[in-house]
Structure 1
């Protein structure tokens, strides 16, 4: 009976991660790459900081509810500076990732972001003086090769403008990866020095991200433009709310999976769901991939899967949006 209930719980966790983040990915592409309005009067959603503000606000509220009801983790003595620093890099990572979608396809963003272990390992060696087993370097090298192969351009029939735009999108993805690496480095320091818990991290990082992004959208005037956009296109409100809710609920299933089955199981689930997210984007939005890119995608996720199974390193309990 215990064994059966464990399998059911595992299926629930896996289903929750797959469904929430698949829906999250579909809405992210719809919001950032789609158009709103009637034919002849369509406009793009360009309010990236406002999008991240809403997402972090929902995440904060969700984390607060979870800590008060389900996941009580006691007192938190982590230094505020650590939370503020990690939330700043976390925020910049999300903003860069969302902005990149205005210049590159969603599969490119997912595969590019799959290279997160690269900056995490480099910064771990340079800043944290960590030592990794040789197989870890081999798995990450596999990811590097796959990402490079995926984003390689043949330069056939492209205009100068298109090349520049695609180059800028890839630069944003690179910046997002660097920010992810810095976030991971600060989180490792928080764990080593203060034994920081995942729920407290989610709560406080999203709190500071709301402060930072809220300040930006108020000072820049983006908040008022964002509100006017929602008034012109009310259907975007539902997209934003459901997008943020799917991300917050997905994080809950990640935390639950780590707590019940360990980081290895969670890492395998999140790696697998990203691969199927790429497939979903191809099927739903017509983001066709070249044969070379399909091969690169398999290489990248093979490296991620092998790293999850045999990398033997500590996992940061945070899913990148992606």
Structure 2
């Protein structure tokens, strides 16, 4: 019979390897996802150098794939497909999520992937605003300081590029401003989406795949409607039919944090101002996490008192 300590060690080792697998899978997926985003939206296809312009089509393909997978998970786990929350609340998340993703794809026409990736750190401010409005949360002054420093670092990174961007859409300062405006829209809608999702999880006994399924089904219908109304559905299908490599990229994008990989792969140089901005952003986030850990740690006197009063520690 195995000793309890051995069994505990085996369980701990399995959890460690499971965590390593999960983190590695997330990181690899995010790297591929980010690179594919930039490739599809910023690089030409075919001998005629045609650019893919239908960002809402990417949203539709992504959501229809996700809804299919989430439905399969719910059926395989024998969990109910019935909506837990009112359907209009799923639709509200869908609308904000579609706006989020569309702004994200469109912004890649005007700002590079490294800029967009680092700018995502500035989501702290809209999340704090939506958290105050929707969840009635209260934040400390230190949280606002960190949010300000992160935004400052992101602003420096965006406003001081190393050179002229090669994007075919970025032909003037007004387009750069438009790209930044799209990023602001992306951050604002994304902050609302994550906050309202959290509210649904706390307000209802909701399984994650249930929310994903109904949210993505609504997103499929909404994005398909948008494509039809804009007259972009058939042109997008025709484009991917003429360019099989674009079709493969979209499939990979739909079935699936890297700034540096994009910098190396797509030759995005970083100016010294951008390096300063990056240092400010990640330094501020590190400082926040370090301070949070330090404040949660009890003082030495309490630790000593806890050890002395603990019945486990009293056993020889």
Tell me which interval the TM-score lies in, with the shorter structure as reference length. Answer: 0.7 to 0.9
Closer, same or farther: CA 293–280 of 1 in aligned 2, 3 Å: same
Q: TM-score, normalised by structure 1?
A: 0.80
User: Which entry has the higher C-alpha Rg, 1 or 2?
Assistant: 2
1:160-199 mapped onto 2 (5 Å cutoff): 161-199=171-209
Say which of 214, 219, 222 aligns to 2:229. 219
Equivalent residue number for residue 80 of structure 1: 87
- Contact 1:73 1:197 (C-alpha < 8 Å) held by counterparts: no
CA distance in 2, matches of 1:218, 1:305: 46
Give the CA deviation at 1:148.
Answer: 1.5
CA distance in 1, matches of 2:187, 2:131: 14
**SS class of match (1:219):** helix
Q: After superposition, give the CA deviation of every residue in 1:198-257 in whole Å (9 maximum; x if it has no partner).
A: 2222111111111110001112210100111012111111111011111xxxxxxxxxxx
Equivalent residue number for residue 119 of structure 1: 126
Unmatched runs of 5 consecutive residues or more in structure 2: 1-9, 294-316
Closer, same or farther: CA 195–144 of 1 in aligned 2, 3 Å: farther
Equivalent residue number for residue 51 of structure 1: 58
Closer, same or farther: CA 222–307 of 1 in aligned 2, 3 Å: farther
Equivalent residue number for residue 277 of structure 2: 296
Mapped pair 1:207 → 2:188? no
Q: After superposition, give the CA deviation of every residue in 1:55-86 in whole Å (9 maximum; x if it has no partner).
A: 11111112112222359478642111111011
CA distance in 1, matches of 2:291, 2:208: 23
Unmatched runs of 5 consecutive residues or more in structure 1: 247-273, 313-322
Q: After superposition, give the CA deviation of every residue in 1:253-302 in whole Å (9 maximum; x if it has no partner).
A: xxxxxxxxxxxxxxxxxxxxx2xx00000010001111111221232233
Question: Which protein has greater RCO, CA pairs closer than 8 Å, 6+ apart?
Answer: 1
- State the aligned residue count: 280
Equivalent residue number for residue 252 of structure 1: none
Mapped pair 1:138 → 2:148? no
Q: After superposition, give the CA deviation of every residue in 1:140-195 in whole Å (9 maximum; x if it has no partner).
A: 2221111121122489989x942111110000000111111221332233233223
Q: TM-score, normalised by structure 2?
A: 0.81
Say which of 27, 36, 40 aligns to 1:18. 27
Closer, same or farther: CA 157–228 of 1 in aligned 2, 3 Å: closer
**SS class of match (2:259):** helix
**SS class of match (1:114):** helix
Q: CA RMSD in A?
A: 2.4
- Contact 1:63 1:203 (C-alpha < 8 Å) held by counterparts: yes
